[in-house]
Amino acid sequence: MARILIVEARFYAHLNDLLLAGARAAIEAAGHEHDTLTVPGALEVPGAIALADESGDYDAFVALGVIIRGETYHFEVVSNESARGIMDLTLSGLTIGNGILTVENEDQALARSDPARLDKGGGAAEAALALLALRERFVG
């Protein structure tokens, strides 16, 4: 049984509730345990994962959050840098499913976060579990 840490950027609580529901359901359906850690925004997710990994308590991570385009360049900075941070950690050997949504509007976010629709939270958890299985296969 693996222990998974879900790290969520809690900026849009109603959307994150849906992402969390999907992620938790996927992890539980696979027979694993999970904890949840909340951070203020998507830029904090990679740093929180890196810190949590130092504990050695977790086998995999799920990154969740929602970034909705606004009127400024901030959207690109947050989208790109959070994705880059997660990818850097993944390439260093961590198993992370990235469920940080980058969308144009709330309707797109709702469609992607809802477990009854596109279930990107569940998909991110499944991606983390798939990477965990690959790590166990290739690294041991």
Is residue 136 marked as binding? no
Is residue 71 marked as binding? yes
Three-class SS string for 7-40? EEECCCHHHHHHHHHHHHHHHHHCCCEEEEEEEC
Is residue 137 marked as binding? no
Which residue carries 């904090």 as its tokens?
44
Is residue 42 marked as binding? yes
* 74 is known as an active-site residue: yes
How far apart (Å, rounded) are the C-alpha atoms in residues 31 and 26? 9
Is residue 13 marked as binding? no
Is residue 16 marked as binding? no
How far apart (Å, rounded) are the C-alpha atoms in residues 99 and 1? 22
Could you give the dihedral angle defined by the CA atoms of residues 68, 43, 21 and 60, in that order, rounded to the nearest 10 degrees?
A: 140
Is residue 66 marked as binding? yes
Q: Which residues contact 92 (CB under 8 A, 6 or more apart)?
A: none
Exactly one of 14, 32, 34, 74 is catalytic; name it.
74
Is residue 54 marked as binding? no
How far apart (Å, rounded) are the C-alpha atoms in residues 14 and 55? 30
Annotated binding site for (2S)-2-hydroxy-3-oxobutyl phosphate: 71-72, 112
Annotated binding site: 11, 42-44, 66-68, 71-72, 98, 112
- Catalytic residue numbers? 74
